[in-house]
Amino acid sequence: MSKNIATREADYSKWYNDIVHQADLAEHSDVKGCMVIKPYGYAIWENMRDVLDRMFKETGHSNAYFPLFIPKSYLSKEASHVEGFAKECAVVTHYRLKATADGKGVEVDPEAKLQEELIVRPTSETIIWNSYRNWIQSYRDLPILINQWANVVRWEMRTRLFLRTAEFLWQEGHTAHATKEEAIEETEQMLRVYADFAENFMAMPVIMGRKTASERFAGADDTLCIEAMMQDGKALQAGTSHFLGQNFAKAFDVKFADKQGKLDFVWATSWGVSTRLMGALVMTHSDDEGLVLPPKLAPIQVVAIPIYKTEEELELIEEKFKSLGNSLKALGIRFKFDGDDNKRPGWKFNEYELKGVPIRLAMGPRDLENGQVEIARRDTKEKSSVPVEGVVEHIAALLHEIQSNLLERSKRHREANTFRVETYEEFKQRIDEGGFFLAHWDGTAETEELIKNETKATIRCIPFDGPSEAGVCMVTGKLSPQRVIFAKAY
Amino acid sequence: MSKNIATREADYSKWYNDIVHQADLAEHSDVKGCMVIKPYGYAIWENMRDVLDRMFKETGHSNAYFPLFIPKSYLSKEASHVEGFAKECAVVTHYRLKATADGKGVEVDPEAKLQEELIVRPTSETIIWNSYRNWIQSYRDLPILINQWANVVRWEMRTRLFLRTAEFLWQEGHTAHATKEEAIEETEQMLRVYADFAENFMAMPVIMGRKTASERFAGADDTLCIEAMMQDGKALQAGTSHFLGQNFAKAFDVKFADKQGKLDFVWATSWGVSTRLMGALVMTHSDDEGLVLPPKLAPIQVVAIPIYKTEEELELIEEKFKSLGNSLKALGIRFKFDGDDNKRPGWKFNEYELKGVPIRLAMGPRDLENGQVEIARRDTKEKSSVPVEGVVEHIAALLHEIQSNLLERSKRHREANTFRVETYEEFKQRIDEGGFFLAHWDGTAETEELIKNETKATIRCIPFDGPSEAGVCMVTGKLSPQRVIFAKAY
């Protein structure tokens, strides 16, 4: 059955867009760069959000909410932050519209100009640290462990659904600490939380590491990241955790008195993941037939489709499926029975395949007679007929198996596409094929820049668990303490 | 112990602000009209949101997300909508900042002016119906039952935390239907959901009714509402549900083919509640000692405070409380043990009273010896000592009792402050005392306007369950089919 999906081989980029549209995840809106996240896409995001939110709370964080708008002057208070974020921003200059002279439209009221322009937050460090100044007097007020779920806006000329949009949804953690050590431990802890989420819920293996100085968050002393490999071999930065030092405390004058009464600036971290993870999820597992979802994040984990000719057959099959569904729901499994009489089974098979539902059940009159049900798994497309008796346990086990198979499959893909290169010649020849390239680099921004300009590849990270053998930079021949990961990236 | 809270009698308005600040719910930000919702306040909002979200899903709705920005021209597509919403708006005119000449600050880049200004959504009917046009072709695409959790901005000059802020958080349901009847039924259903939530979770009795034409949502054919009475006798509109007729379908050209292939415009509803409910919650139950929370929405339902002199005493009491806490948690009760050694029990008693925790437990060495625990309930301030044996069941029952006591107390307050008035003279004399006034009105906008101008009271609603006896308008003496509710309102 034709699905209007380009194959990955023919056009990877079009394949991605086709999946996002055909699986009804999101669409472009008429507002340049802003997307509409459709109900099915949003349901996946809700599952992600709920798991992450629980993980944040388990590590001691609380949610709060800070203003959408940031006074323009705040952005320039932290010297390097302004470089990174005070550029492509949505700027609010007026606070009122009025009717046009012909009474048919509205226009901006020139009388209602703001004294200071407001920026729609591209990230909230500045507005939050401006609040923290009033919240923190002594070490007793620390740590502050806050997270915010919010929309942010970074004006983008070239957008791609989920991967790069002007407005996107995200969470941003902003913590304040009495010591440098505690802030660094927080930065590392949250990176581990992200890696745990990526691997154990998204079934997406990630490499934890450190960004080079030139790839750091604007205003950070250190940026840690998780990097994933997509099916085309490109890297996708899936989450970042920043050690901000005392930079924002200094910019917003946030000091605390320690136990001895001595004043010092507060130490900070911030960390975030966004709806970009939706793009990563799509590109990690999906195939040419549509979306493939890891069971833990699938809005529907098991769909049941009746195959029948008569009303009576439908009733009998529905009864069986409903009873099975109740047993599954009792185990916390998200089950849907699709008895829509207006659609043929073949159409439904196609639809749920497109939407990545991990397990599809089908039952016809003969299955009913034999006490059997057909089970199809989305990841391998294997089908089998099993007895209805004991199928609940079988399904529960199969969901686990699909979850771990997706992770293993992605790991194998990454391993098969991770290469060591020794010379810049080899690097330049092979970089266009895609993949992660472990190479030696001399640690300078100049070399990094040169490689980026010549090949469009960037250093994704200096991996924590990478091989630590020393060597010489593939470009300059200078000493290098360990290999770093180069790749082209989303 | 002094709490810096004004009494309700001395200054109701200051009392409200004091509670919001002292209980650490929210604060004003430096951005005019925008608030910061602090962790404790946000935790209450999360509980509200989670319950409402479940209720929306149980009634068949899904969540989605639409853009923050609305092109200016959209606002003027629906004739009456523009009157209501295209006024006090945040207007985005530019999309870039650049460094100032001295390099020290940033300024708006005049080169980066938008062709068409964007409005930060004050409500999303226009942007959503613009999307629905592409989603709806035939009756098979209907109904669309979507809800969105989002931030919205309506510029306000005079703001009050939660009650009236420029930016606020809310949910907005936007549904599309094939028939008028179905849309009306949806409008009514969602009003019942709101009333259910208000009464059974917020413990806040509400009156369901219909707004007069002049109080309708801009663009609606009919606006239904729930109205609550605050402790000062003022009304607070706690939620609205709108029947939008075919107005937005016509404005955005959204047609569907029915079963016979005939084209018709789609029928619409929208409905919303916001962080304003936080203000309603505070003002419905709290007292001069601080916040009072209904157990179902309290972030902490039971707090346990040890009273001790020695480390050993603390350990023994902590052990007892932790075991009790585990039993409570197993029942889904939100329990906190506060063993902070830096704070005295008296300080903690005060703190949790201020924060409205429904039940406070305390245990000292003598209680330990006697196998007893002291229980204090926040609503009545009653204290009693009960045996630890069986206290879990006692606490579970007490939480239910507090929940229903708060509702009953609020109902009694409303009944005691609801009056029938027959003459406009009497109305004018008594309206300043506060309360709901059931009076006859001739149904004209002129009379409504006159009363509003002379007394500042508005018609809160034409109640569904009100006394239906006919009468004559208190102002004009013309016939009136039923009494309506007048009150001053937030």
Domain boundaries, chain B: 22-94+104-285, 300-400, 418-487
Sheet with strand B372-377: strands edge to edge: B335-337, B302-306, B359-363, B372-377, B383-387
Strands B91-94 and B113-120: antiparallel
- pLDDT of A86 > 90? The answer is no
- pLDDT of amino acid B468: 77
Contact A187, A269 (CB under 8 A): yes
- How many angstroms away from the CA of B279 is the closest CA of chain A? 16
Fold classified for A12-285: BirA Bifunctional Protein; domain 2 (3.30.930)
Nearest Cα residue to A293 out of A397, A378, A414, A351: A378
Rounded CA gap, B309 and B75, in Å? 66
- Is some CB atom of chain A closer than 8 A to the CB atom of B60? no
- 3-state SS, B427-453, equals HHHHHHHCCEEEEECCCCHHHHHHHHH
- pLDDT of B1 > 70? The answer is no
- pLDDT of amino acid A78: 81
Rounded CA gap, A454 and A244, in Å? 31
Residue B2's pLDDT band (cuts 50, 70, 90): low
- pLDDT of A371 > 60? The answer is yes
Contact B31, A127 (CB under 8 A): yes
Burial environment of residue A465 by CB neighbours within 10 A (0 to 12, 13 to 18, 19 or more): exposed
Mean pLDDT of A19-43: 97
- pLDDT of A228 > 80? The answer is yes
Q: Do B96 and A88 touch (CB under 8 A)?
A: yes
Rounded CA gap, B240 and B258, in Å? 30
Mean pLDDT of A342-356: 96
Nearest Cα residue to B129 out of B42, B244, B29, B225: B244
- pLDDT of amino acid B80: 78
Rounded CA gap, B91 and B69, in Å? 9
Token pair in block for residue A124: 């909230």
Kindly report the pTM of this predicted structure.
Answer: 0.97
Residue B99's pLDDT band (cuts 50, 70, 90): confident
Rounded CA gap, B191 and B226, in Å? 7
Strands B263-265 and A26-28: unpaired
Rounded CA gap, A421 and A475, in Å? 11
Task: Write down the residue that tokens 């005060």 correspond to.
Answer: B350
Of A70, A91, A167, the CB nearest to B68: A167
Nearest Cα residue to B212 out of B193, B227, B228, B199: B227
Token pair in block for residue B65: 């997300």
The CATH number of B418-487 is which of 3.40.1010.20, 3.30.110.30, 3.40.50.150, 3.50.50.60?
3.30.110.30
Could you check whether A302-398 and A418-487 share the same CATH topology?
no
ipTM of the complex model: 0.96
- pLDDT of B400 > 80? The answer is yes
| Alpha carbon distances (Å) from A282 to A47, A162, A388 | 15, 10, 32
The separation between CA A481 and the C-alpha centre of its own chain, rounded to angstroms, equals 31
Half-sphere exposure of B243 (CA within 13 A, CB side): 19
Q: Do B69 and A31 touch (CB under 8 A)?
A: yes
Half-sphere exposure of B144 (CA within 13 A, CB side): 30
Strands B335-337 and B302-306: parallel
Of B105, B146, B151, the CB nearest to A68: B151
Q: Do B89 and A97 touch (CB under 8 A)?
A: yes
Mean pLDDT lowest among A175-189, A207-221, B103-117, B184-198: B103-117
Q: Give the count of beta carbons closer than 10 Å to the beta carbon of residue B180.
A: 13
Residue A164's pLDDT band (cuts 50, 70, 90): very high
* Residues B64-94 pLDDT 10s: 999 999 999 998 888 777 777 778 999 999 9
Token pair in block for residue B66: 């639409």
Rounded CA gap, B66 and A30, in Å? 11
Mean pLDDT lowest among B175-189, B344-358, B456-470: B456-470
Please tell me the class of the A302-398 domain: alpha beta
Residue B231's pLDDT band (cuts 50, 70, 90): very high
SS3 call for A39: helix
* Residues B293-312 pLDDT 10s: 999 999 999 999 999 999 99
Of A75, A93, A151, the CB nearest to B68: A151
Instruction: For residue B30, list chain A residues with Cβ-Cβ distance below 8 A.
Output: 71, 127, 130
Residue A368's pLDDT band (cuts 50, 70, 90): very high
Q: Is the dihedral of CA B309, B315, B316, B318 positive or negative?
A: positive
- pLDDT of amino acid B469: 87
- pLDDT of amino acid A73: 92
Q: Which residues between 128 and 157 in chain A have a beta carbon less than 8 angstroms from any beta carbon of chain B? A: 130-131, 140, 146, 150-151, 153, 155
* Residues A247-286 pLDDT 10s: 999 999 999 999 999 999 999 999 999 999 999 999 999 9
Per DSSP, the residues of B152-172 read EE---SS-BTTTB-SEEEEEE
Q: Which residues between 267 and 326 in chain B have a beta carbon less than 8 angstroms from any beta carbon of chain A? A: none
Rounded CA gap, B277 and B294, in Å? 13
- pLDDT of amino acid A2: 61
Q: Do B119 and A97 touch (CB under 8 A)?
A: yes
- Is some CB atom of chain B closer than 8 A to the CB atom of A38? yes
- pLDDT of amino acid A301: 98
| H helical segments located in B92-223 | 125-135, 180-200
* Residues B367-397 pLDDT 10s: 999 999 999 999 999 999 999 999 999 999 9
Half-sphere exposure of B321 (CA within 13 A, CB side): 27
SS3 call for B341: coil
Rounded CA gap, A325 and A348, in Å? 18
- Is some CB atom of chain B closer than 8 A to the CB atom of A341? no
Rounded CA gap, B473 and B476, in Å? 5
- pLDDT of A1 > 70? The answer is no
What percentage of chain A carries pLDDT values higher than 90?
A: 92
User: Closest chain A residue to B131 measured between Cα atoms?
Assistant: A29
CATH 3.30.930.10, domain B22-94+104-285, yes or no? yes
Residue A466's pLDDT band (cuts 50, 70, 90): confident
Give, as one character, the DSSP assignment of residue B266: P
Averaged confidence pLDDT in chain A = 96
Rounded CA gap, A116 and B108, in Å? 10
The separation between CA A336 and the C-alpha centre of its own chain, rounded to angstroms, equals 26
Strands A479-480 and B62-63: unpaired
* Residues A117-137 pLDDT 10s: 999 999 999 999 999 999 999
- pLDDT of amino acid B264: 98
- How many angstroms away from the CA of A258 is the closest CA of chain B? 15
- pLDDT of amino acid A82: 77
- pLDDT of A85 > 80? The answer is no
Residue A365's pLDDT band (cuts 50, 70, 90): very high
Beta strands in B95-142 (DSSP E): 97-99, 106-108, 113-120
Nearest Cα residue to A244 out of A212, A217, A225: A217
CATH 3.40.640.10, domain B300-400, yes or no? no
Half-sphere exposure of A160 (CA within 13 A, CB side): 17
Chain B interface disruption, residue of A40, A73, A82, A89, most B CBs within 10 A:
A89
Angle at A405 between CA A399 and CA A408, to 5 degrees: 150
Instruction: For residue A69, list chain B residues with Cβ-Cβ distance below 8 A.
Output: 31, 34, 90, 167
- pLDDT of amino acid A212: 98
Averaged confidence pLDDT in chain B = 96
Mean pLDDT of A141-168: 95
Residue A333's pLDDT band (cuts 50, 70, 90): very high
Contact B249, B268 (CB under 8 A): yes
